[in-house]
Amino acid sequence: MESKGQSAAFFDLDNTLIDGSSIYYFIRGLSKSGEIKFRDIFRFAWDNYRFRKSREENTSNMAYATKRILDFARGRSFSLISNRCEEIVHEFLPKKLFPQMKERIEEHQSIGHHTWIISASPIEIASVVAKKLGMTGAIATTGEVVNGHYSGNLPDGAMHGINKARAIQSLANANSYDLSKSFAYSDSVNDLPLLVSVGNPFIVNPNKALKVIARKNQWPVLVA
């Protein structure tokens, strides 16, 4: 029997929808108010440069970035950080958004597909990007908030690797998505669990290793 479920399109954020690392743009935005030290800005800038050149997420760099953001957020107001993210995204998104990927989102929306960002970036950033692009929503790394302030804990871990596949399965269950008719876009070999979970995977800005996998599986490759 033919499935009649809704189709959805899932987009990674860094190096897929935008050029570079959203965490770096977040840190750079915070530096303007003096809330981040220069040595940390330099480390994030260097990691962002390597990320853009290699087009590959480095696990140790991601762990470092996550720890630094958790340390920074601990005890701070959720509403304050959320408002700051609005300002930061408003500044970087027009400059860093890949036009071809914006068109992809709009194409999916025009034929009634739900569109989601699925990202290891902080949910506060991913949700603002999704909102500005008129997307259905975002699933991303979420820090614990207690009494309106960040605890510095990450109870569900980073939205990375197998967690992305689990996240879209939960979305599919909640929204009656047919994953066999759905789409996923990513630049990262770490997102293979996400890519193999849908019937229509697309590879965006891949490095050499991911190109080999895409060729072997006959997955379309986009260069944004």
- Residues designated catalytic: 12, 14
List strand residue ranges (DSSP E) for 80-208, in order. Answer: 114-122, 137-141, 145-146, 149-150, 183-186, 200-204
Contact status, residue 115 vs residue 105, Cβ threshold 8 Å? yes
The residues, any chain, with a CB within 8 Å of residue 146's CB and separated by 6 or more, are none
Amino acid at 88: I
Which residue pairs from 109-113 have beta carbons closer than 8 angstroms and sit at least 24 positions apart in sequence? 109/134, 109/135, 112/6, 112/7, 113/6, 113/7, 113/8, 113/9, 113/182, 113/183
